[in-house]
Amino acid sequence: MAECAQTGARAGLLHTPHGVVETPVFMPVGTQGSVKGLSPRDLIEQLDLRLLLANTYHLYLRPGPEVIERLGGLHQFMGWPRAILTDSGGYQVFSLSGLRKVTQEGVLFRSHLNGDAHLFTPESTVDVQLVFGSDILMALDECLEYPASHEAARESLDRTLGWARAAFRHYRQRIQERENCGALFPIVQGSVYGDLRRRCAAELRELDADGYAIGGLSVGEPRALSLEMVEATAPLLPRDRPRYMMGVGLPEELPEYVAHGVDMMDCVLPSRNARNGCLFTSQGRLIIKQARYKDDPRPIDESCPCYACRNFSRAYLRHLFQAGEILYASLATLHNLRRYLEVMRQIRQSILAGEFPAYLNATRARALEELPAEL
């Protein structure tokens, strides 16, 4: 592992049952067992992606763990031979399911698809992720809305800590019976309160997990506050284990989190924004529907080697977007993910070369130059 002498940035290798992943790493989101618009062949041949994220809540409700187990596990089901991280389902239960009841045992909720009642417990969500065959599993946590009072955040945190301990007890029993199990990560919660975050990190450390996640941020709080919470948390987590910051971020934010000691990140932004017409380039954002691209022969990003940039003009992509063509979503997603992976590659290279502080400063200077009107 290489560490930056001036910041908390690290470059390392993450070993999983489905291959080695270079860190820091950005994970595209395959919510329903698919990165929208791209096939696994695209992800491997065009992007050389090593690790993606899939959502336990969605796959549990549909098609269900029984079907996935019968079809050979999630890797085989979705035709993806490389590593998969699954979340615990907690975040979606709290964001998608209108009706829910939280107890010490777990969370009772109604499916957003058909209203059926389901119970997620720390033990059941470990079992579901083991059935999927995930390379990295997440422990069930409670995701609080922002803002939350200190008292509410403390109560919720105590529940999350109890769930994490229960998840680990169960996981340690189950991995005795199975081969090649993935690693289980607990999640640091505590809303925007530094004291709660620090206590949570210290208590979760006792679990001696293979990695740790920081959750419950990027839920509407100011960005400076999310970074402050990472700053309060990351130094308390074991130095030799990966740290995963959940649900971030914009391209210019990625180096900021890495500077705070984060090794793994995921976000729907590159794929969702691509579909909505917002493309990330080395020169900033490009809104493809704008009239100025009507007959623009240039590629999305002249410095990008992706298939979309090598073969198609902004004018053509704008036409596909306006016409609602499926090909647009596919090309735009490919490009945006290529851009994110390129940012991560540059971050890693700069850490290994001992030049990360200069890279970070250059990113900050560029972010300031970008016009807010382009957002």
Cis peptide bond prior to 305, omega within 30° of 0: no
By beta-carbon proximity to Zn ion, the closer residue of 265 and 332 is: 332
Task: Retrieve residue 184's tokens.
Answer: 């289980």
Four-CA torsion 188, 191, 192, 195, nearest 10 degrees: -60
Cα 150 from Cα 26, distance rounded (Å): 31
Identity of residue 366: R
- Cβ closest to Zn ion, residue 267 vs residue 309: 309
Distance CA 266, CA 29 (A): 7
**Backbone φ and ψ of 30, nearest 5°:** -115, 75
Q: Smallest distance, Å, CB 300 to Zn ion? A: 5
Question: At closest approach, how far in Å is the CB of 339 from Zn ion?
Answer: 7
Torsion of CA 269, 333, 132, 219, to 10 degrees: 10
User: What is the nearest approach in angstroms of Zn ion to the Cβ of residue 205?
Assistant: 41
Q: Which residues are marked as active site?
A: 87, 266
- Residue 34 Cβ, how far from Zn ion at the closest point, in Å? 21
Between 241 and 339, name the residue whose CB sits nearer to Zn ion: 339
Name the site residues for Zn ion (rule: CB under 5 A).
304, 306, 308-309, 335
Element spanning 95, H or E: helix 90-96
Q: Which residues pair with 272 in a beta bridge?
A: none
How far is 245 from 8, CA to CA, in rounded Å? 14
Q: How many angstroms separate the CA atoms of 338 and 48, rounded? A: 10
Closest distance of CB 327 from Zn ion, Å: 15
**Region at 238 (left for phi over 0; alpha for psi -120 to 50; beta for the rest):** beta
Whether the Cβ atoms of residue 146 and residue 171 lie closer than 8 Å to each other: no
Q: How far apart are CA 297 and CA 262, in angstroms?
A: 39
Question: Measured from the CB atom, is 138 or 331 closer to Zn ion?
Answer: 331
Closer residue to Zn ion in complex, CB, 205/345: 345
Q: Which residues fall within 8 angstroms of residue 205, CB to CB, at 6 or more apart?
A: 212, 236, 237, 238
A 10 A CB-CB count for 150 gives 13
Q: Which is nearer to Zn ion, 14 or 35 (CB)?
A: 35
- Please report how close the Cβ of residue 314 comes to Zn ion at its closest, in angstroms: 11
